Amino acid sequence: MKLLCFFRYGPEKASSRVRGYQLALELEKRNIECTTLTGTRKSSYVRCVREMARHDAVLFQKLYTYPDVLMNTLARSLGRKTIFDIDDAPFGNTYSKRAERLAGAMAGKASAVLAGSHQLKRFAAAHNRNTHLIPSSIDLSLYEPVRRAPAGDRVTLGWIGDGVSYREDLTMLAEPLRRLGERHPVRLVIIGALGQEKIYETFAHLGPVEVRMVDAIDWKDPAAVAAEISRFDIGLYPLTGNVFNIYKCGFKALEYMALKIPVVASPVGENGYIIDDGTEGFLAVDGEQWYRKLRALVENEQTRLSMGEAGRKKVEEKYSLDVTAGKVADIINAL
């Protein structure tokens, strides 16, 4: 089986790195020969057309503009199977009816659809019955838990991500953290603030809470991402329940869990499916719950350790790249 993998982004973007490049490497181990190409320029589409002739199937990862629909249609007309992979809101960061319609067209024309969350699966299944839930999974070789020293003077609460996309979500943490800091010595670390003024302003006045902002790291290097997260004692994943976030795949929670870090998250998007409240971490619906559940973790190191162990175990069993690649290989071979 020869698979042409057409990705929207390069490896610096988590979606294409995790659901694209890393997955392709695992599929190679399962006798699926993968050729990768990236981009949305004209030259990328020209190459895609050229490569179709020598491949059995084409995987479109997070591609659903009008040219992508044409590529999907052309591939099918040439007798090639196509797989459409989607891991974010089908209408983009700001609602676009046209983008949503094109995402539906990509799903409908594909031989199979890989959806990163339950909500995305519901969307895609309305256009294609051959839709499969495929989570954004963890390459466990890159997320090796480290033995953290005792918290000492401060417990570190951390968040990592794209500050541009999450600046509004992060604001819900300010008041619970301020209250927490009045009772316990804690440290807040934000990785990926990206110079966002709103983020800096939001956390500028947290009283005794020690705040550390990191604008950017080497996002292309998964080891660098894991190294930063490893410094956390508790992982944070706040999400407002807007129309965009309900499609989120929960990868941030899985990163924390893979490194044996308990997570406190909003029960939005895939988080409610990934996290069993009170087992791998906590789900918090409002400011009071965020405060109480963070406080419970800050005050009890043993709870943090046991939840961390449970999180790693769940990732190994259900959300590892090895498990996911096996499922995807079966889907492709069945075509």
Summarize the confidence of residues 283-297 as an average pLDDT: 98
d(CA 333, CA 328): 9
Asked whether residue 160 carries a pLDDT value surpassing 90, the answer given is: yes
pLDDT in tens, 65-101: 999 999 999 999 999 999 999 999 998 777 789 999 9
Summarize the confidence of residues 215-243 as an average pLDDT: 92
Q: What is the pLDDT of residue 222?
A: 78
CATH number attached to the domain at 155-318: 3.40.50.2000
pLDDT in tens, 137-146: 999 999 999 8
- List, by residue range, all CATH 3.40.50.2000 domains of the chain: 2-137+320-334, 155-318
Q: Which of 335, 333, 323, 244 is nearest to 23 (CA)?
A: 323
Name the region of 152 (left: φ>0; alpha: ψ -120 to 50; beta: rest).
left
The highest-level CATH class for domain 2-137+320-334 is alpha beta
What is the sign, positive or negative, of the torsion defined by CA atoms of 282, 286, 290, 292? negative
Which range among 90-104, 178-192, 237-251, 283-297 shows the weakest confidence by mean pLDDT?
90-104
Q: Which of 106, 38, 35, 40 is nearest to 73 (CA)?
A: 106
Q: What is the pLDDT of residue 223?
A: 86
Q: What is the pLDDT of residue 286?
A: 97
DSSP codes, 21-56: IHHHHHHHTTT-EEEEEE-SSHHHHHHHHHHHTT-S
Asked whether residue 151 carries a pLDDT value surpassing 90, the answer given is: no
Q: The pTM is what? A: 0.94
| Predicted confidence band of residue 220 (pLDDT cuts 50, 70, 90) | confident
Task: Give the list of residues 6+ apart from residue 168 with CB closer than 8 angstroms, or none.
Answer: 198, 240
Summarize the confidence of residues 230-249 as an average pLDDT: 95
Residue 19 neighbours by CB distance under 10 Å: 28
Summarize the confidence of residues 292-304 as an average pLDDT: 97
Summarize the confidence of residues 207-218 as an average pLDDT: 94
Q: What is the pLDDT of residue 41?
A: 92
Asked whether residue 150 carries a pLDDT value surpassing 90, the answer given is: no
- Average pLDDT across the chain, whole number: 95
Amino acid at 313: K
Q: What is the pLDDT of residue 152?
A: 64
Asked whether residue 209 carries a pLDDT value surpassing 70, the answer given is: yes
**Which helix (H) or strand (E) segment is 138 a member of?**
none
b/e per residue 206-233 (b: at least 16 CB within 10 A): beebebebeeeeeeeebeebbebbbbbb
